[in-house]
Amino acid sequence: MSVLSGKKILLGITAGIAAYKTASLVRLFIKSGAEVKVIMTPASKDFITPLTLSTLSKNPVHSTFYNKEDENELWNNHVDLGLWADIMLVAPATANTLSKMANGTCDNLLLATYLSAKCPVYFAPAMDLDMYKHPSTIESLEKLQSFKNVMIPATSGELASGLVGEGRMAEPQDIVSFIENEILSKLPLKGKKVLLTAGPTYEAIDPVRFIGNHSSGKMGFAIAKAAANLGAEVILITGPSHQKVQHSFIKRVDVTSAEEMYTAAHTYFSDVDIAILSAAVADFKPKNVAHQKIKKKDATLTIELEKTKDILASLGAIKKEQFLVGFALETNNEIVNAKGKLERKNLDAIVLNSLQDKGAGFATDTNKITIIDKNLNEKAFQLKSKAAVAVDIMNEILLRIKK
């Protein structure tokens, strides 16, 4: 999955012959998992039709502030469009539009939206050789970059005039790759590895029955995605779960039992920078597993249990530079019990959940947590979606690994 997945991309198209390439550009953004909206300058519609772009983007294409032929139509709010976007890209960016962007000229919807945008702005110049080399164009390019706008350099090749030289807009695939790489280079966990455990474990009684718990894996999967979105390479070791995650930075390892999770965690632990153990691992397992289904003969059944291996404590005992995070699900004396677990297992931080809090715990879409670090600093959070909680957890980890 691309780093652009889930991003909202606002594509501004200006009146250059390279506008014909924007159909492919929109398709590539959509394929990467992004949502795309398009703004065209009125003159750009001579080069590619709004119908083509609206069909590919599955969104209306905007060109003017309002439809002069419909008195009742609402205006296209440039402020809303600018605030909607996670990324704004102007491609092709003609010499005319570049000059207007650099000097704050605001005579169409695209330029008004550019001046309102709060997100990163990229621009891909496209013009003939002499225009690209003209001092006024060079000044515009330098000025826009001083605004922290990001230029996607033009390439050399055959131009519309028949000349061969610099000024050709970068190809759509190269534009997408440029933006992906530029985003990745700024992600705080780029080059880091994160080990994450999630879900329940099932401990077999016989070939049919098992001992398990109500964990859905939602919290762990949300953390895995949050870590991957920060640029980390994530190894997600999960017990039986219906949760799914699609991200090119996440490697999923499926296990069933506590023993299998223990083995997998120890396999990867030495190579990671951060380990977050959110799985609800069974504390006990049947001492003897029946090879055949146990028949219902007597009124009662006694199963002898033995302790499973403590994955968290075992990693705490061997950790070196890794930042190790555990989870504590408590029903009483929550803070005291969580701090005890933090210290006993040599953790760097622990995430406390209380089943006393409505909306927290297993199988819900929300969670309410308190994070306690190894210095016993506590930070409580309000009830939030598990996706938002995952972001909070990763942000707190980032603050501590940077110290």
Closest C-alpha to 157, from 11, 21, 40, 12 = 21
Report the C-alpha gap between 273 and 389 in whole angstroms: 21
Report the C-alpha gap between 38 and 22 in whole angstroms: 10
Between the CA of residue 38 and those of 53, 64, 99, 123, 144, what are the distances in Å? 7, 12, 21, 14, 21
Report the C-alpha gap between 303 and 289 in whole angstroms: 9
Hey, what are 148's tokens? Answer: 């922290």
The active-site residue, picked from 59, 77, 96, 213, is 213
Report helix, strand or coil for 69. coil
Report the C-alpha gap between 244 and 266 in whole angstroms: 24
Half-sphere exposure of 29 (CA within 13 A, CB side): 29
Phi/psi-derived region of residue 87, left when phi > 0, alpha when psi is between -120 and 50, beta in every other case: beta
Report the C-alpha gap between 14 and 110 in whole angstroms: 9
Cβ-based neighbour number of residue 279 at 10 Å: 27
Report helix, strand or coil for 354. strand
Vertex 53: Cα angle to 49 and 59 (nearest 5) = 130
Report the C-alpha gap between 139 and 137 in whole angstroms: 5
| CA 140 and chain centroid, separation | 33
Clarify whether 96 is annotated catalytic: no
The dihedral built from the CA positions of residue 117, 118, 122 and 128, taken in this order, carries a sign that is positive
Our CA dihedral for 165, 169, 170, 176, rounded to 10 degrees, sits at 170
Return the amino acid letter for 339: K
Q: What are the residue numbers of the active site?
A: 213
